[in-house]
Amino acid sequence: MKEKLIAALMGHGYRVFTRPFELNIIGIRSKSAVPNLFNDQLNILYKDDTGAWQLHSFAATTDPGTFWLKNPLNPQGTAILKEGQYLNTYSVGLHRSKYLALVQRAPVTVIRDITRDGSLDFSGKEDTGMFGINIHRALQQGTTRFIDKFSAGCQVIANADDFKKFMALCDKHQALYGNTFSYTLLHETPTLSLAA
């Protein structure tokens, strides 16, 4: 999977970070459009201090939950992060003033789902700006089964222990390279399968 992720990044012309403990944070959006499930993946790819690639893959969502799909926070529609690479867009900060996570610090592009029918619609209007599209966890303990209100467009890790591992790696990256992180969102393909 490490090689497939690197090939996917390079194939899109995206940056691959190669300094020790410099994180490549890569979301993969499932080809399944079933809403409200943690059926996507957040991957943390980096080189260790020996130069060997390391990979941690966590169950996550890159989509909003059905609650927010039916009840958009924004009158233009619920935010679904558009696939792409967002350089220097995140930093460690407080998610909703509650706990440390990666918070948006520069504009991102979202697709506005205005249908209010609880299903994911990727054909809506694009909107670029500051929307609080953070990378955080769901429940404080254990594994969360359904997205529900945990994402109104954020990228959310389902398991609390996975999130702790993620933040520990972010701390290491921050100590070496400062409080700036990039995020890449890809779509599942036959060569980049979540079933692999």
- The sign of the dihedral angle between the CA atoms of 70, 71, 77, 82 is negative
Report how far residue 26's alpha carbon sits from residue 43's, in angstroms, rounded to the nearest whole number: 5
Tell me the average pLDDT of the chain. Answer: 95
24 forms beta bridges with 45
pLDDT attached to residue 196: 54
- For residue 165, which of 64, 62, 36, 56 has the smallest C-alpha distance? 56
Percent of the chain with pLDDT over 70: 99
Return all residues near 68 (Cβ < 8 A) that are at least 6 apart.
78, 149, 151, 152, 153
158 DSSP assignment: S
- pTM of full prediction above 0.85: yes
Q: What is the mean pLDDT of residues 69-83?
A: 94
* Strand, coil or helix: 62: coil
